[in-house]
Amino acid sequence: MSLRKLDVVIVGAGFSGLFLLHKLRSSGFSVAVLEKADQLGGTWHWNRYPGARCDIPSLQYSYQFDEDLQQEWNWSEKYSAQQEILEYLNHVADRFDLKKDIEFNTEVISARFNEEKSLWEIKTSHGELETKFCVMATGCLSAPNTPDFKGLDDYEGQLLHTGKWPQTQVDFTDESVAIIGTGSSSIQSIPVIAEQAKHLYVFQRTANYSIPSNNGPMDPEQEAEVKSRYPEFRKENWENGFGIAGMAIEEMAVEDDEQGRKEKFNHHWENEGLGFLGAYADLMLDKEANEMAASFARNKVKEIVKDAEVAELLSPKFTIGCKRLCVDSGYFEAFNRDNVTLIDLNTNPINCITSKGLMAGQEEYSVDSLILATGFDAMTGALTRIDIRGRKGISLKDQWKDGAKSYLGLGISNFPNLFTVTGPGSPSVLSNMVPSLELHVQWISQCIEWMRDNNKKVIESTKAVEEEWMTLVNEVADLTVYKSCNSWYNGSNIDEKAKEFLPFIGVPPYTEKITEVAEQNYQGFVFDKTN
Ligand code: NAP
């Protein structure tokens, strides 16, 4: 039986995969999306833990490629909950008739580039197919990290991971619950779980900064104002460093007086969520300025949390923003409840997981449910967990073992006709993801169209351009305080991972660069290499 042949295979049916399918199919290519889950949504399918919601305002965290779509869709809250984002994505899929070309429950096991045929051979849990192009729309935070806790398999209660939460309702009523980790996922879920559970034990290794979301119903006036000029609103946001509204301030914290800083930090604390870091232009550039914001945020923790010892434990000690800032709805307040206990893993490390719960220090905590909120193998994990082999059978995992190198976060040397959406070396996680991935989808689709129109069969990046690009990525990061702590931005949350800073900081220069590369016939990429 002959293999099914396609122009483009897209891996993943999240925000990126859906838009790619729409774009490429509209341009006349034969396309299929392969999706491991039984439904679409990507991140917004898997991360359905209690309290899961987006921390970018809804009016910004949405597609802009279709004016009617962005006008007609109404978000009910300032920050959308996971379920509403999933409904939105389903609406988009129905509106553009996308589901018929998505193959659900289809996991990609391997992708191998056949050099003789210049085709990718894709092996899935349902069979094999061949494609000219393969686009990895696998997301930056989609490979859950399960630490190798001794005895984890012995646990007999309900074991959960925030990054692969069950689709069935999980009810913690009358339960003792333990949660390990205090990143965004945990910080969002703790207030909700605390309301339900008999007792919640929070196991913290590193205290984190979190800004109150002050979420609420969508303000109809604000919605109408934005919708009256949606394209300009999107453009204005895109022109600042992170592609998010409210981050384009020019004043410096170090040049303001104490009263001015207090007022500004207060205003941003109460209104801006992630945009707290946009209070001044120097917060992520200058350690002294950063410490001013950090100390303001620490004082807030001490104002909210009544028990001074707990407040001290919850006060972060590192540079604010160098780990991804969190946005919450009642996180610090939850520690004022009698049924929430904070355990400091620095003084009471987890010795092992037992059949009943976990041993931390000398104490065993018996719990009905154990939640791992331990994050992801970010930015590269979803790619390296698939057996991807390029020229001469080289494996991507091996090629990246000393560090992920990519040209612009779009192409990888030795892996022809393979594109990544929001790959390492692009602003991705240091920007508003939806416009970032739309930019990449537009770029990749135009590139594939340009190749068809110009009779080019194979495109690839080279070692030289990607070395040069990743050096720049790191030089830019060196101008900031982003490298000053352990974070998933620099691979330090995964022991065996190369420690390097992966996102490109700066939406405007990045956008300019990739636009210029395309205008100059994909400068830096090589076409139809013969050896
Ligand atoms: P995360 O930020 O990486 O947090 C993981 C937590 O687990 C950290 O507190 C970490 O401690 C802890 N941890 C990891 N391994 C551990 C171990 N072996 N022992 C003890 N503790 C351990 O993961 P996340 O909370 O899932 O969030 C990941 C990212 O997803 C976020 O930064 C954000 O970009 C995105 N996200 C976004 C939203 C949103 O839009 N609202 C919501 C959730 C997540 P250390 O800090 O000490 O390593």
Whether the CB-CB separation of 77 and 216 falls below 8 Å is answered with yes
**Cα 127 to ligand 1 centroid, rounded to whole Å:** 35
Closest-CA residue, ligand 1 atom 23, reads 375
Ligand 1 atom closest to the Cα of residue 374 is 7
Arithmetic mean of pLDDT, 461-477: 97
DSSP structural state of residue 333? H
Q: Cα dist. 360→155, 202, 344 in Å?
A: 15, 11, 9
What percentage of the chain reaches a pLDDT higher than 90? 96
Arithmetic mean of pLDDT, 383-399: 98
pLDDT in tens, 406-417: 999 999 999 999
Query: Residue 280 pLDDT more than 70?
Result: yes
**Cα 180 to ligand 1 centroid, rounded to whole Å:** 10
**Cα 327 to ligand 1 centroid, rounded to whole Å:** 13
Arithmetic mean of pLDDT, 181-208: 98
Beta strands at 108-114 and 119-124: parallel, antiparallel or unpaired: antiparallel
Closest-CA residue, ligand 1 atom 16, reads 374
**Cα 514 to ligand 1 centroid, rounded to whole Å:** 30
Query: Residue 281 pLDDT more than 70?
Result: yes
pLDDT at residue 245 in the model: 76
pLDDT in tens, 478-523: 999 999 999 999 999 999 999 999 999 999 999 999 999 999 999 9
The residues that bridge with 133 in the sheet, in sequence order, are 8
How far apart CA 346 and CA 371 sit, in angstroms, is: 19
Higher-scoring residue by pLDDT: 126, 88: 88
* Per-residue three-class SS string for 182-201: CCHHHHHHHHHHHHHECEEE
The residues that bridge with 344 in the sheet, in sequence order, are 204
Whether the CB-CB separation of 518 and 422 falls below 8 Å is answered with no
Whether the CB-CB separation of 36 and 107 falls below 8 Å is answered with yes
Arithmetic mean of pLDDT, 156-180: 97
**Cα 323 to ligand 1 centroid, rounded to whole Å:** 9
pLDDT in tens, 199-233: 999 999 999 999 999 999 999 999 999 999 999 99
Tell me the three state secondary structure of residue 486: coil
Q: Where are the beta strands (DSSP E) in 154-301?
A: 158-161, 176-180, 199-204, 210-212
pLDDT at residue 248 in the model: 61
How far apart CA 470 and CA 412 sit, in angstroms, is: 12
Ligand 1 atom closest to the Cα of residue 184 is 25
Tell me the three state secondary structure of residue 343: strand
DSSP structural state of residue 324? P
Whether the CB-CB separation of 374 and 147 falls below 8 Å is answered with yes
Q: Cα dist. 334→80, 161, 189, 505 in Å?
A: 21, 21, 10, 34
**Cα 408 to ligand 1 centroid, rounded to whole Å:** 26
Choose which residue among 58, 493, 495, 497 to substitute to test ligand 1 binding: the one with the highest number of ligand atoms within 8 A of its C-beta: 493
Query: Residue 66 pLDDT more than 70?
Result: yes
**Cα 299 to ligand 1 centroid, rounded to whole Å:** 23
Tell me the three state secondary structure of residue 210: strand
Closest-CA residue, ligand 1 atom 46, reads 206
Choose which residue among 187, 202, 205, 329 to substitute to test ligand 1 binding: the one with the highest number of ligand atoms within 8 A of its C-beta: 205
Round the average pLDDT of the chain to a whole number and report it: 96
Ligand 1 atom closest to the Cα of residue 206 is 47
| Token pair recorded at residue 170 | 């999980």
pLDDT at residue 1 in the model: 56
Residue 513's identity, in one-letter code, is: K
pLDDT at residue 478 in the model: 96
Closest-CA residue, ligand 1 atom 4, reads 183
Choose which residue among 185, 187, 331, 347 to substitute to test ligand 1 binding: the one with the highest number of ligand atoms within 8 A of its C-beta: 185
Query: Residue 361 pLDDT more than 90?
Result: yes
**Cα 324 to ligand 1 centroid, rounded to whole Å:** 9
**Cα 28 to ligand 1 centroid, rounded to whole Å:** 41
**Cα 493 to ligand 1 centroid, rounded to whole Å:** 9
Its pTM stands at 0.97
pLDDT in tens, 296-335: 999 999 999 999 999 999 999 999 999 999 999 999 999 9
pLDDT at residue 243 in the model: 80
Q: Give the CA angle between residues 297, 298, 299 to the nearest 5°.
A: 90
Ligand 1 atom closest to the Cα of residue 141 is 30
**Cα 163 to ligand 1 centroid, rounded to whole Å:** 10
**Cα 398 to ligand 1 centroid, rounded to whole Å:** 26
Choose which residue among 372, 374, 499 to substitute to test ligand 1 binding: the one with the highest number of ligand atoms within 8 A of its C-beta: 374
How far apart CA 131 and CA 322 sit, in angstroms, is: 40
Residues with CB under 6 A from ligand 1: 53-55, 141, 147, 162-163, 180-186, 188, 205-206, 324, 345, 373-376, 429, 488, 493
Ligand 1 atom closest to the Cα of residue 375 is 23
Query: Residue 107 pLDDT more than 70?
Result: yes
DSSP structural state of residue 1? -
Query: Residue 95 pLDDT more than 80?
Result: yes
Distance from chain centroid for Cα 417: 24
Whether the CB-CB separation of 26 and 7 falls below 8 Å is answered with no
Query: Residue 470 pLDDT more than 60?
Result: yes
Query: Residue 393 pLDDT more than 80?
Result: yes
**Cα 115 to ligand 1 centroid, rounded to whole Å:** 40
Closest-CA residue, ligand 1 atom 14, reads 374
Ligand 1 atom closest to the Cα of residue 147 is 18
